C-alpha cells in the first residue's frame, strides 16, 4: 500500500507527459471545534460517540498523542496552516494580522496549482493566509463539491478546510436519541439551560454552581454533539465517495483545541469561559488521517502537534516551500507514519494561550498561560500582571493534574524550564523574521503603487497592523535591541513614503 501512495504522489507531482495523467491528491482537513479525544469512541471512550470514525479505525492512521498549540481557535488553526508556533505567526487575538505580502504554507499549495478553500477565511486572523474561497460549516447539505466556495474542484486538485461547530457551546446539536441514551433529555436546571443556550459562560459571572448531576447531564449533551459531528464527517466521506473524489483525497480529522469538562472547576475553553488554561484536557486533540485505499494505517503514540501538519503534507505531496521567508518550525511526520521511527519530532510539546481567547482586549494580550510537556512531567507558566508563576505536575503520579508542585524545589523541572526559555527565544526570532519580511513587502507595495495614494496608504496601514500584532506578544521582538532599531527604520521608511504621497513632510 505504501508503494502505491509513493507512486501516486510521484506521478502527481512530476511533470511527465502521459496519455492518462494521474491527478494530484487532494487534501480535505475537517476540524471540529473543541473536540476531545477523551469523549470519542474511536479513542477508547466507553460511549459509542463516533460510530463512523470507529468503523474506519482499521483504515485510518490515528495519532493518540496529538496536541494543539493553544486553547482557542485562531492560534491553533494558524499553526496548522503555517507550520509556526503561535508567538511566531502572531495570530493570537481578534485584532491580529497576517500580512498579505507574507508567503505561507497554504499559499505554497496554491502556487503549486491547488485551489484552496477554508472556513471563515475572511476573518482578520485568516484573511491573508492563502484561502481563495470560503466554505460554509453550517450548511445542512454537506455537498462540498456544489458549495459556492468550492467551484470546479472535481477537475482541480484542492486543499480544503471545513470547520464544524457542532461540539462548540451551546451544547445543543445532538439528536434526541443520543440525549435520551446518555441521560441528557430531562427537564433542564438553570445551569443546564445555560449550557443549552449560550456560546459563552464566563467563569465568575454566574449566580449558580453546576451540581454533580448537572455535570453528568452536560457531559451527555456534549457526547450527543460529538455523535452529531461524527455523522456529519461520515456524510462528508460518503459525498466524496459518490463524486469519485475519495480515491484521490486525503482526509484529515482533527480539532483546533480541547475542552474542559469540569476537570479543573469549569467547562469550555479560553474564548467561552474567559478562564484560559492549559491542562491536558484543554489542548489534547484528535488527529486521524484517512488515505485513499488505506495506504497508511495504524496507531501512533509519539507526541505530535498542529504545526507538524503542513511540513508533513508539503513533503508528502512534493509541494515546494522555497518561497517561505522562515522555514516551518514544525517537522514532517512521514518517518513516524511510515514506521521508520517511533520517536516524535521533539522531546517536548508546547502551547500558549491568552486568558480570554477571541474576546481578549488589547491591554490584556500579553498575559498568557504557557505550557511545556514531556511524557512524564509538565510545567505551566501563568503569566500575570503581578509576575509569572511556575507550576509543575508529575503526569505519572498525577495524570489528572490535581497536585501542583513547587518547581523551585524540584530539580526534575529544570530541563523543562530551560526548554521553555529556548522556545521563547526561537519564537521571538521567528516573529522578527516574519515582521521584517512583511515590512519589506509593504515598502515594495508602496514602490509599485506608482503614485496611487490610496495604495500607498493601505500598505502603511497594513504595516501598522503587523506592528500591533507582534507588539502584543509576551516577548515582543520590538523590545529587543537586536531587531528594534531595524524595525523602527522600516516603519519610518513606510511612513515617509506615505507622507510624500499625501504631500506632507
Q: Please give the full DSSP string across 219-282, using - where no structure is assigned.
A: HHHHHHHHHHHHHHHHHHHHHHHHTT-GGGEEEEEE-S---EESTTSSEE-HHHHS----SHHH
Per-residue pLDDT of 431-457, as tens digits, reads 999 999 999 999 999 999 999 999 999
* Residue 215 burial by Cβ neighbours in a 10 Å radius (0-12, 13-18, 19+): middle
Say yes or no: 43 and 177 in one domain.
Answer: yes
In the chain, what percentage of residues exceed pLDDT 70? 91
**Domain check: are 424 and 334 in the same one?**
no
Q: For residues 259 and 121, what is the distance between their CA atoms, to the nearest angstrom?
A: 23
Peptide bond before residue 170 is cis, with ω within 30 degrees of 0: yes
What's the burial of 185, exposed, middle or buried (CB within 10 Å: 0-12/13-18/19+)? middle
Asked if pLDDT for residue 155 goes beyond 80, the answer is: no
**Whole-angstrom Cα distance, residue 325 to residue 306?**
20
Q: For residues 130 and 102, what is the distance between their CA atoms, to the nearest angstrom?
A: 10
Handedness of CA 69, 355, 197, 127 (dihedral sign): negative
Q: Do 330 and 477 fall into the same domain? A: no
What does the pLDDT average to over 25-50? 96
The pLDDT of residue 20 is 47
Tell me how far apart the alpha carbons of residues 501 and 169 are, in angstroms, rounded to a whole number. 49
Average pLDDT for 66-81: 97
List the grid coordinates of 409.
524545589
**Interior/surface letters 250-276, b for 16+ CB within 10 angstroms, e for the rest:** bbbbbbbbbbbbebeebbbbbbbbbbb
pLDDT at residue 429 above 90?
yes
Q: How far apart are CA 30 and CA 254, in angstroms?
A: 6
Q: What is the pLDDT of residue 505?
A: 63
**Residue 213: domain span:** 2-12+23-340
Instruction: With respect to residue 366, please indicate whether it lies within any of the assigned structural domains.
Output: no
Please compute the mean of the pLDDT values over residues 235-239 and round it to a whole number: 88
Q: Tell whether 307 and 448 lie within a shared domain.
A: no
Nearest to 354 by CA among 437, 270, 278: 270
Q: What is the pLDDT of residues 172-207, one digit of tens each?
A: 999 999 999 999 999 999 999 999 999 999 988 888
Is 350 domain-assigned?
Answer: no
State whether 173 and 277 are in the same domain.
yes
Q: Which residue has the higher pLDDT, 116 or 134?
A: 116
Check residue 267 and give its pLDDT: 96
Residue at 382 is within a domain:
no
User: In this structure, how many other beta carbons lie within 10 angstroms of the beta carbon of residue 44?
Assistant: 9
Look at residue 218 and tell me whether its pLDDT is greater than 50: yes
Position 77 pLDDT exceeds 90: yes
Rounded to the nearest 10°, the torsion over CA 495, 500, 504, 505 is 70
C-alpha cell at 172: 445543543
pLDDT mean over 254-276: 96
List the helix and strand counts (H, then E) for the chain.
15, 15
Residue that finishes a domain, picked among 309, 340, 371:
340
- Alpha carbon distance 52, 62 (integer Å): 14
pLDDT at 151 over 50: no
Phi, psi angle pair for 232, to nearest 5°: -65, -40
Query: Which CATH number fits the domain that encloses residue 49?
Result: 3.40.720.10
Q: Is 142's pLDDT higher than 60? A: no
**For residue range 101-124, what is the model confidence (pLDDT) as tens digits?**
999 999 999 999 999 988 776 678
My answer on whether 297 and 442 are in the same domain is no
Kindly state whether residues 287 and 193 are assigned to the same domain. Answer: yes
Question: Does some domain include residue 138?
Answer: yes
| DSSP code for 39 | G
Q: Considering the domain boundaries, does residue 411 fall inside one?
A: no
DSSP 365: T
Tell me: pLDDT of 3 over 60: no
Q: Given this model, what pLDDT does residue 285 score?
A: 98
Residues 277 and 423 in one domain: no
State the pLDDT at residue 313.
98
Task: Quote the pLDDT of residue 121.
Answer: 66
Domain boundary among 340, 358, 378: 340
At 460-476, the pLDDT tens digits run 999 999 999 999 999 99
Whether residue 100 is found in the same domain as residue 229? yes
The last residue of one of the domains, among 280, 311, 340, is: 340
Where residue 239 falls among pLDDT bands split at 50, 70, 90? confident
DSSP 121-182: TTSTTTTTSS--EEE-TT-SS--TTTSTTSTTGGGS-EEEEEEE-TTSSS---S-HHHHHHT
Clarify whether residues 428 and 297 are in a common domain. Answer: no
Task: Give the model's pLDDT for residue 266.
Answer: 95
The pLDDT of residue 6 is 45
pLDDT for 481 equals 94
Q: Same domain, yes or no, for 325 and 451?
A: no
Listed range (35-44, 152-161, 376-385, 440-449) with the worst mean pLDDT: 152-161
Residues near 240 by Cβ (< 8 Å), separated by ≥ 6?
28, 144, 246, 249, 251
Residue 154 pLDDT class (50, 70, 90 cuts): low
Read off the pLDDT of residues 339-395 as tens digits, 9 standing for 90 and up: 999 999 999 999 999 999 999 999 999 999 999 999 999 999 999 767 789 999 999
Task: Grade residue 278 by pLDDT with cuts at 50, 70 and 90.
Answer: very high
**Mean pLDDT computed over every residue of the chain:** 91
The answer to whether residue 373 sits within a structural domain is no
**How many structural domains are present in the chain?**
2
Whether 266 is covered by a domain: the verdict is: yes
Judge if 158 and 280 occupy the same domain: yes
**Is residue 83's pLDDT more than 80?**
yes
Q: What is the pLDDT of residue 137?
A: 58
> What is residue 117's predicted lDDT score, i.e. its pLDDT?
86
Within 10 angstroms of residue 493's Cβ, the number of other Cβ atoms is: 17
- Residue 389 in any domain: the answer is no
| The pLDDT of residue 106 | 97
Region of residue 343 (phi > 0: left; psi between -120 and 50: alpha; otherwise: beta): beta
Amino acid at each position: 500500500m505504501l508503494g502505491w501512495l509513493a507512486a501516486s504522489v510521484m506521478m502527481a507531482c512530476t511533470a511527465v507527459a502521459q496519455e492518462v495523467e494521474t491527478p494530484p491528491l487532494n487534501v480535505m482537513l475537517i476540524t471540529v471545534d473543541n473536540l476531545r479525544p477523551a469523549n470519542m469512541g474511536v479513542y477508547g471512550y466507553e460511549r459509542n460517540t463516533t460510530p463512523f470514525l470507529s468503523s474506519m479505525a482499521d483504515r485510518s492512521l490515528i495519532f493518540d498523542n496529538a496536541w494543539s498549540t493553544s486553547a482557542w481557535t485562531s492560534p491553533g488553526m494558524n499553526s496548522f496552516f503555517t507550520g509556526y508556533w503561535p508567538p511566531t505567526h502572531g495570530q493570537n487575538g481578534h485584532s491580529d494580522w497576517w500580512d498579505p505580502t507574507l508567503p505561507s504554507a497554504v499559499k505554497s499549495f496554491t502556487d503549486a496549482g491547488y485551489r484552496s478553500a477554508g472556513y471563515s477565511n475572511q476573518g482578520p486572523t485568516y484573511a491573508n493566509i492563502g484561502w481563495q474561497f470560503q466554505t460554509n460549516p453550517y450548511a445542512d447539505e454537506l455537498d462540498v463539491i456544489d458549495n459556492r466556495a468550492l467551484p470546479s474542484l472535481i477537475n482541480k486538485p484542492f486543499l480544503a478546510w471545513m470547520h464544524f461547530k457542532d461540539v462548540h457551546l451551546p451544547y445543543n446539536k445532538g439528536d434526541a436519541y443520543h440525549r435520551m441514551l446518555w441521560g441528557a433529555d430531562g427537564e433542564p436546571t438553570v445551569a443546564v439551560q445555560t449550557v443549552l443556550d449560550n456560546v459563552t459562560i464566563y467563569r465568575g459571572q454566574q449566580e449558580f454552581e453546576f451540581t454533580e448531576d448537572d455535570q453528568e447531564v452536560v457531559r451527555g449533551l456534549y457526547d450527543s454533539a460529538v455523535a452529531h459531528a461524527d455523522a456529519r464527517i461520515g456524510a462528508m466521506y460518503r459525498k466524496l465517495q459518490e463524486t469519485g473524489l475519495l480515491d484521490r483525497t486525503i482526509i484529515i480529522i482533527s480539532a483546533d483545541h480541547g475542552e474542559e469538562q469540569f476537570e479543573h472547576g469549569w467547562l469550555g475553553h479560553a474564548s467561552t469561559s474567559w478562564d484560559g488554561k492549559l491542562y491536558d484536557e484543554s489542548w489534547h486533540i484528535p488527529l486521524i488521517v484517512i488515505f485513499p485505499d488505506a495506504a497508511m494505517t495504524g496507531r501512533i503514540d509519539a507526541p505530535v502537534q498542529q504545526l507538524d501538519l503542513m511540513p508533513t503534507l508539503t513533503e508528502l505531496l512534493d509541494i515546494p516551500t522555497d518561497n517561505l521567508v522562515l522555514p516551518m518550525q514544525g517537522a514532517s511526520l512521514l518517518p513516524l507514519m511510515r514506521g521508520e521511527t517511533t520517536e516524535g519530532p521533539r522531546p517536548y510539546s508546547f502551547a500558549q494561550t491568552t486568558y480570554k481567547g477571541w474576546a481578549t482586549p488589547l491591554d490584556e494580550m500579553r498575559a498568557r498561560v504557557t505550557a511545556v510537556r514531556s511524557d512524564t512531567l509538565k510545567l505551566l507558566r501563568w503569566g500575570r500582571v503581578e509576575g509569572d508563576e511556575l507550576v509543575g505536575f508529575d503526569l505519572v503520579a498525577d495524570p489528572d493534574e490535581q497536585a501542583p508542585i513547587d518547581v523551585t524545589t524540584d530539580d526534575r523541572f529544570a530541563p523543562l524550564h530551560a526548554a521553555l526559555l529556548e522556545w521563547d527565544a526561537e519564537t521571538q526570532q521567528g516573529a522578527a523574521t516574519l515582521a521584517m519580511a512583511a515590512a519589506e513587502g509593504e515598502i515594495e507595495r508602496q514602490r509599485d503603487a506608482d503614485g496611487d495614494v490610496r495604495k500607498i496608504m493601505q500598505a502603511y496601514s497594513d504595516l501598522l497592523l503587523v506592528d500591533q500584532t507582534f507588539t502584543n506578544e509576551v516577548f515582543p521582538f520590538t523590545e529587543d535591541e537586536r531587531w528594534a532599531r531595524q524595525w523602527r527604520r522600516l516603519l519610518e521608511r513606510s511612513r515617509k513614503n506615505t507622507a510624500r504621497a499625501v504631500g506632507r513632510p
